[in-house]
Structure 1
Amino acid sequence: MRFLTIINKYATRYALILFLALSGSVASMPLASLAEPAHGIAMYGKPALPAGFTHLPYANPDAPKGGTIRLAEPGGFDSLKPWILKGNAAWGVGVHVVESLMFRSIDEPFTLYGLLAESVETDPDRTWVEFTLRPEARFSDGSPVTIEDVMWSYKTLGTVGHPRYLAVWSKVAKMEKTSDRSVRFTFKEQDRELAMLMGMRPILKKAQWEGQDFAQSGLEPPIGSGPYVIDKVDPGRSITFRRNPAYWGRDLPINRGLNNFDEIRYDYFGDANAMFEAFKAGEVNVWRELSAQKWASEYDFPLMTQGEVTKSEIRNERPSGIMGLVMNTRNPVFRDWRVRQAMIEAFNFQFINKTLNGGLDPRITSYFSNSVLAMHPGPAEGRVRDLLEPFAADLLPGTLEGYTLPEGSDRPFDRQGLRRALKLLEEAGWTVQDGALKNADGRDFSFEILLNQSGSSMRSASETQQIVDIYLEALKNLGITPTVTLLDSAQYVQRTNNYDFGMTWYERALSLSPGNEQLLYWGHDGVTLPGSRNWMGMNDPVAEAMIAEMLEAKSPEQFNAATRALDRVLTAGRYVIPVNFSPVSRLAHSTWLEYPEQTPIYGDWPGFMPEVWWQEAKE
C-alpha cells in the first residue's frame, strides 16, 4: 500500500504537469520577493568564487593568444545544427559559436556564473528564476543579443528542438519579459535544479531562423555570440572555427585565459585507427588514449622519440559513467532480469580486459563509481535504505542487499559463469534444444548486435569489434548466435535514435551534478520518444522516484543519498554489461601545447581542452 501511495504521488504530479502543458493554464505567481540579483548560482550554498573574481582557478589569465590547434573526430557530419534531432551535427558548433546565459564551472560540482547574463535572481524555494542580460552582449554580426532572442530560443528549442530540451521546457509554467533586458521563468513544480538549467540553454539569433522550419537539418552557419565563428566547412570531412577578434565577452573575468587559439580545426576520419595514424603523422595535435596497454607500449613513433609529442595524465573526481554493451528491453528477449544477468555472466570481463588492455584499468562497478555519488558496497544503509525500502516488493534482487558483478576468469571461457548463465536462462524459460537456445514454443533466442564502423568517443571500432568477437564465442556455449551489423555513422545514429537494435555499444558520461537529465537517460518517456538516451528502454517508477528525490533535495547529504539509491536501482537493473574505465585521462599532444598546472575537479571534460589550452612560441 505504501508503494502505491508513493507511486501515485509521482503519477499525480506527472498528470498535473501534462494537464497544464496541454491546457496552457498556469497559475499566476507574484513577482515580489526578497531575493537579490547575484553574479552566480550554486545548487547548494553559494558559488565558490565571489563577485568580482578575476578568472577561473583552472585558467591561466596570462595565456598567450594565437596559433592553430587541429583535433580529430570519428565519422562525419551533415549538419551545423546540434540542437535538433535530425542530421549528424559537426562537433564544436554548440561549444565555440553559441553561448548560454550562464557559464558552468568545471571546478565545482554544479555552479554557474553569469555569461550573457550579468545577474541571476531566484526565490529561496526556487519557484522562479530571472536573468538580466549584459547590455554589451552581441552576436558575431554586431547585432545585440536581446530578450526576444532569448525567449524565441527557449520556446523554439523546447517545442521543436531536440527531445533533450522538451522535459525541462514542459516544467515551465510561464516565461515573461520583465524589462528590456530581463526575463523570468516560473515553474510548475518543486525542482531546485530548474533555476540553474534555465541558464544553460543556447541562445540563438531569432532573425536568422524565424520563418524557417527549425527542425530541419542544414549546413547554414549559425550566427552566435560566442568567441568563434565558423570559418570553413568541408561537409563530412572538416570544420574550422576562427576566433572573433571583436568578440564582445573577451574581457569578462569568466573568459580570461580561455579561447586562446586563433583557429580550431576538427578533421573527421573513418575510425579511431585512422585518427591515431593522423596524430602520429603530425596532422592532429591531441590524442586521447583510452587503452592503458597502448599508452605503455605503443608510443615509440618518430614524433615521440624526437620530442615533438609529449604525454600527460590528468586526474579527475567525476563518476566513471557507464560504458559497455546495452540490452534493449523493448526486445522481448531482454525483458526478464534473469536473462540480462545471464548475458552479464557470459561476458568474461577478466579475460577480455587482460587480452585487450593488459588488465591495467579497473572495471566499472556502478553508474556513479569513482565518485562520492557511488553506491556503497554491501547492503543499503541509512538514508539510502529509507528511500528504497518503501519499494522493496518491486526492487530487483541486489538493490537492497547489494549487487556485484561476476569476477570472471583469466581463461577464454568462464565455465562457472556459463553454468550460472544457463541456470538463469532455464529459470526464465529458455533451454538448449538441438544446440540452440529456445523457449517452450520453440522460438530461438535471437537478437542483433549493432555496431558503429567509426567507433565511439571512448572506443575504436576495432576494439569494440574485438570485444564482441570474444563475447560471441562465449555465447555459442549457451546456444546463442546473435547477428552482428556494422553501420556507418549516419545509419547508426538513425537506428539508435529509434532504438532499432537488440544490443549495442553504449556510453553515458555522468557528472557530479546529476539532475533532470537523468529522466532523459532513464525516464519512461524514452521508451517511445525518439532521440532519448534511454537506449535500454527502462521504465522503472522507482528510478524516477529517486530522481525526484534528487531534484527536491535541500542539502548535499540528501542529494548524495538519493543519487546513491538511484545508482543501486540502475546497477541492479542489469541493463548494461560494463567494461573498464580509466580514472585518469591520457592525453598525448604536441609539445608546444600547454595547459594550466591547476586542473579542474572534472579533469579532461568539456570546457577544458581546447578552451584553457594555449600554444607556446615554437623555437
Structure 2
Amino acid sequence: MIVTILAGADDLRANEALQPVGGIAMHGVPELPDGFTHFPYADPAAPKGGTITYGIQGSFDSVNPFILRGQKVSGLRDAFYGNNVFESLMIRSHDEPFAMYGLIAENVIMPADRSFIEFILNQKARFSDGMPVTPEDVIFSAEILAKKGRPNYQKYYSRIRSMEKTGENRVRITFNGEPDRELPLLLSLLPILPKHAIHAETFDQTTLTPIIGTGPYLLTKVDQGSGITLTRDPNYWAKDLPVKRGLDNFDEIRFVYYRESKTLFEAFKKGLVDVYFDSDPNNWSAAYEGRALSEGRIIQSTFETGLSSGVRGYAFNTRRAPLSDIRVRKALSMMFDFKWMNENLFSGGYERTGSFFQNSELSALGVAASGNERALLRPFMAEIDPEVLEGRYQPSKTDGSGRDRAMLRAALTELQSAGYRLKDRVLVDHTGKPLALELLMASGGDQERVALSYSQTLATLGIQLTVRPVDAAQFEERRKTFDFDMLSWNWAGSLSPGNEQYFRWSSPFADQPGSFNFSGVKSKGVDAMIDAMLAAVEKSDYVDAVRALDRLLMSGRYVLPHYHMPRQLVGHSARIGMPQTVSLYGARPETWWIREVVQ
C-alpha cells in the first residue's frame, strides 16, 4: 500500500545536504556533462515539418497503453517510436546502458543508498490542455498505475513506502527497504497522467477516447483497428530543452495497421508506408525491387548497435505435461536445426542465439563461471547444468542436412530417459499416449516457415507438432492466459537488465495473467539472482549476478532460442533524413526528419 503524506520540517532539513542533479545512472554517473546541448545521436539542426507513416502488423482496440485489457495501439508511449503523447519524469539516453536526464522533473535528489528519490518538477511542464504538471499529478499517476495498471507497474510501485509533496514543485518517493538500486530509475520513467482529466473508476477499461499527456504530439484521429494520427502540439512546453533538441521533427505521424507482414511490405514498396523494419535476410536481399528502388525513392540502410541480441524463440509452458519434464525440453531443443534453416530459408543471414544476453559482457555463454558467480549459485547448484557452469555449453549443432542422425539419436536417448518409446513410428509415453504439442504464434511473417521446418524434424522421431498461427486478438488473449504448449516470442535485449526480469522469469509472475513469464518459471535460484542483480552496487557484482541468471535460464531449458540478426535492417523512403551519429541502441525514429521540408 502506498501512503501519501506531507513532509515535516526535520525531513526537509535532512535533505538540504544532498544536492540536486540533472541526471542519474544505474551504475556510476551519467556520461553527459552539465550544460550539454543535445543528445549525441540527435541533430539539433534537423528541419521540422512533414508527415511520416509507419506500418504496424496487427490491430488495436484501445488507446490506453497502461492497462492489461485490450490490444494497445503503438506510438503513444513507445520504447521504439518514442513517448509521443505520454512522457516520463525523466528521459532515457539511448547512448548509455541506463541513464536518465531531466524532463518533467528537471532535477532529482537521491542519497547514496537510494532509499528515496525526490523529483523537482520543471515549473514550465504542461499537459496538452495547458494545465501545469503538479506533485499531485505525480502521486496520482503512481497510485492509479499501482492499482489499475499492467502487472509490471503493480510490481514496481508495490515497493513504494510513501510519497510526499515536499514543496510547490517537489515530490519525494521513499522505498520500503527491499534492496533494489534500479527502482529510483524506474520511478523516473513513471508516465505522468493528468489527475484533473482521468476518470479513475474506469481507467482500467479499454477506450478509444484520447487521453491527454505532456508529450510533443496530440492524438487527433483514431480509426479503430486501422490506424491513428498524431499531430504536433504547437504549444509543446519542452521543445527547447537540451534533451529534446533534434527530436520530434514531424508535423504529423501516422500509424497504419496491416493484418499480414506481406501486405505491410507491399504497402511500403508502393509508398503507402515510409518505413519497413526488416527481420528477414531473404527479403532484404531479394525483395526490394521495382521502380521505387531503381529510381532511388526507397533506400536500404543498415545500423550497427551495441545492444545484446535478446532472444527470439519458443517458450515451453512448464505448467503443462510433458513440458514440465526438463528431459523433454532438452530433446525438443536439440532438434532445432538452425544450420539447415539458416542456409535454406534465410541465405545464411542469421547467427545462432544461445544466451539470454548474447553479444554483451552480461552473457555467460562459452564463459566459465567466476568465483563470485559460483558463490552466488552455490545454494542452487542442483539447478545448474555443469556444462553451462564451466562454459562448455553451446546450442545444439547439426550437419545442416535436415536429418542429422547423430542429433536425432541424442534426442531420442533423452526422450527414452523420460519414459518415451517409438511405437509404429509414433513417440508414445508409458501409457501409449503420443507426444503431441501445439505451437502458438501470431500469423504472418517468416516464423511460420521456421515452425513448419521444425515440425518436420520432430516428425522424424514420431513427435506431432501442430503449428497454430492465429490473428493478433486471439494471440494476445491466449498468451495473456498462458493457453498454449509452446509460444513463439521475441524477448527484447537490454544493456541494463533489471526489474523486467522479474516480469519475465520470477516465481510470483509464473501464474500472473498478462505477465511475460510464459514458461512458468518457478526457480528459487532465478529469483535470488534477480534480487542479487538489483542489489548490486558495483558494476562487477552486477555483471556476475546477470551472468549467474543467464546460466540458470540456459540450464533450465525454459526457452528454445533461435537466432538473431547481427544488425538492424531498415528500408525507408528517401524523403527521410537521419543523423550521421547512430545511437548505442541503433536507429531512433524520433531523431528522423523529412528532407523536403523547406525552412
Fold match (TM-score > 0.5): yes
Question: Are the aligned partners of 1:139 and 1:223 in contact in 2 as well (CA < 8 Å)?
Answer: yes
Q: Distance in 2 between matches of 1:616 and 1:360?
A: 31
State the shift of 1:483 in Å: 2.9
Question: Are the aligned partners of 1:98 and 1:203 in contact in 2 as well (CA < 8 Å)?
Answer: yes
**Correspondence for 1:57 among 40, 48, 59:** 40
Pair 1:412 & 2:402 matched: yes
Pair 1:127 & 2:115 matched: yes
State the shift of 1:22 in Å: 10
Identity %: 41
Question: Are the aligned partners of 2:47 and 2:597 in contact in 1 as well (CA < 8 Å)?
Answer: no
Partner of 1:584: 567
Q: Distance in 2 between matches of 1:197 and 1:618?
A: 37
Q: Distance in 2 between matches of 1:206 and 1:536?
A: 37
Q: Residue type matched to 2:442 in 1?
A: N
Q: Residue type matched to 1:362 in 2?
A: E
Greater mean alpha carbon deviation, residues 351-360 or residues 439-448: 439-448
Q: Distance in 2 between matches of 1:96 and 1:211?
A: 23
Shift in CA distance, 24/312, structure 1 to aligned 2, threshold 3 Å: closer
Q: Residue type matched to 1:617 in 2?
A: E
Pair 1:69 & 2:58 matched: no
Secondary structure of 1:448 counterpart: strand
**Correspondence for 2:350 among 336, 361, 374:** 361
State the shift of 1:298 in Å: 2.3
Shift in CA distance, 198/277, structure 1 to aligned 2, threshold 3 Å: same
Question: Are the aligned partners of 1:318 and 1:510 in contact in 2 as well (CA < 8 Å)?
Answer: yes
State the shift of 1:572 in Å: 2.0
Pair 1:239 & 2:228 matched: yes
Pair 1:114 & 2:93 matched: no
State the shift of 1:376 in Å: 4.5
State the shift of 1:468 in Å: 1.1
Greater mean alpha carbon deviation, residues 219-228 or residues 393-402: 393-402
Partner of 1:43: 26
Shift in CA distance, 437/588, structure 1 to aligned 2, threshold 3 Å: same
Q: Distance in 1 between matches of 2:215 and 2:56?
A: 21
Greater mean alpha carbon deviation, residues 429-438 or residues 345-354: 429-438
Q: Distance in 2 between matches of 1:537 and 1:583?
A: 29
Partner of 1:384: 373
Partner of 1:518: 501
Mind listing any 5+ residue stretches in structure 1 that lack a counterpart? Answer: 1-20
Q: Distance in 1 between matches of 2:596 and 2:383?
A: 62
Partner of 2:595: 616
Partner of 1:282: 271
Q: Residue type matched to 1:220 in 2?
A: T
Question: Are the aligned partners of 2:302 and 2:570 in contact in 1 as well (CA < 8 Å)?
Answer: yes
Secondary structure of 2:201 counterpart: coil
**Correspondence for 2:510 among 503, 519, 527:** 527
State the shift of 1:30 in Å: 5.2
Partner of 1:4: none
Question: Are the aligned partners of 1:370 and 1:583 in contact in 2 as well (CA < 8 Å)?
Answer: no
Secondary structure of 1:212 counterpart: helix
Question: Are the aligned partners of 2:355 and 2:365 in contact in 1 as well (CA < 8 Å)?
Answer: no
Cα deviation 1:168-219 (Å, max 9, x = unaligned): 1111111121112111111111211111111101111112223432111111
Pair 1:139 & 2:127 matched: yes
1:428-507 to 2 correspondence within 5 Å? 428-453=418-443, 455=444, 460=445, 463-507=446-490
Partner of 2:552: 569
Q: Distance in 2 between matches of 1:210 and 1:298?
A: 48
State the shift of 1:23 in Å: 11
Q: Distance in 2 between matches of 1:61 and 1:156?
A: 36
Q: Residue type matched to 1:120 in 2?
A: V
Q: Residue type matched to 2:140 in 1?
A: W
Partner of 1:18: none
State the shift of 1:385 in Å: 2.6
Q: Distance in 2 between matches of 1:562 and 1:349?
A: 29
Cα deviation 1:526-577 (Å, max 9, x = unaligned): 2111111111111111111111111111111111111111111112221222
Question: Are the aligned partners of 2:338 and 2:562 in contact in 1 as well (CA < 8 Å)?
Answer: yes
Partner of 2:576: 593
Q: Distance in 1 between matches of 2:409 and 2:460?
A: 10
Cα deviation 1:224-281 (Å, max 9, x = unaligned): 1100001111110111100111101111110000000001101100111111100110
Q: Residue type matched to 1:57 in 2?
A: P
Secondary structure of 1:492 counterpart: helix
Pair 1:538 & 2:528 matched: no
Q: Distance in 2 between matches of 1:562 and 1:102?
A: 27
| Alignment size in residue pairs | 586
1:184-263 to 2 correspondence within 5 Å? 184-188=172-176, 189-263=178-252
State the shift of 1:618 in Å: 6.8
Question: Are the aligned partners of 1:84 and 1:160 in contact in 2 as well (CA < 8 Å)?
Answer: yes
Q: Distance in 2 between matches of 1:22 and 1:124?
A: 23
**Correspondence for 2:585 among 595, 602, 606:** 602
Q: Residue type matched to 2:151 in 1?
A: P
Q: Distance in 1 between matches of 2:4 and 2:85?
A: 34
Pair 1:338 & 2:312 matched: no
Q: TM-score, normalised by structure 1?
A: 0.92
State the shift of 1:437 in Å: 2.0
State the shift of 1:387 in Å: 2.1
Q: Distance in 1 between matches of 2:456 and 2:386?
A: 28
Q: Distance in 1 between matches of 2:122 and 2:2?
A: 34
State the shift of 1:384 in Å: 2.3
Greater mean alpha carbon deviation, residues 153-162 or residues 293-302: 293-302
Partner of 2:387: 398
Q: Residue type matched to 1:267 in 2?
A: V
Mind listing any 5+ residue stretches in structure 2 that lack a counterpart? Answer: 78-82
Question: Are the aligned partners of 2:383 and 2:555 in contact in 1 as well (CA < 8 Å)?
Answer: no
Cα deviation 1:570-602 (Å, max 9, x = unaligned): 122212222221121011111121111111111
Q: TM-score, normalised by structure 2?
A: 0.95
Q: Distance in 2 between matches of 1:111 and 1:260?
A: 23
Q: Distance in 2 between matches of 1:268 and 1:558?
A: 44
Q: Distance in 2 between matches of 1:351 and 1:477?
A: 15
**Correspondence for 2:138 among 150, 170, 176:** 150
Greater mean alpha carbon deviation, residues 104-113 or residues 537-546: 537-546
State the shift of 1:397 in Å: 4.5
Partner of 2:71: 88
Q: Distance in 1 between matches of 2:493 and 2:108?
A: 26
Cα deviation 1:392-415 (Å, max 9, x = unaligned): 133245331332111122212222
Pair 1:427 & 2:417 matched: yes
Question: Are the aligned partners of 1:592 and 1:618 in contact in 2 as well (CA < 8 Å)?
Answer: no
Q: Residue type matched to 2:38 in 1?
A: H
Shift in CA distance, 378/138, structure 1 to aligned 2, threshold 3 Å: closer
Question: Are the aligned partners of 1:388 and 1:400 in contact in 2 as well (CA < 8 Å)?
Answer: no
Q: Distance in 2 between matches of 1:450 and 1:44?
A: 39
Q: Residue type matched to 2:350 in 1?
A: D
Question: Are the aligned partners of 2:309 and 2:359 in contact in 1 as well (CA < 8 Å)?
Answer: yes
Q: Residue type matched to 1:597 in 2?
A: Q
Q: Distance in 2 between matches of 1:35 and 1:436?
A: 69
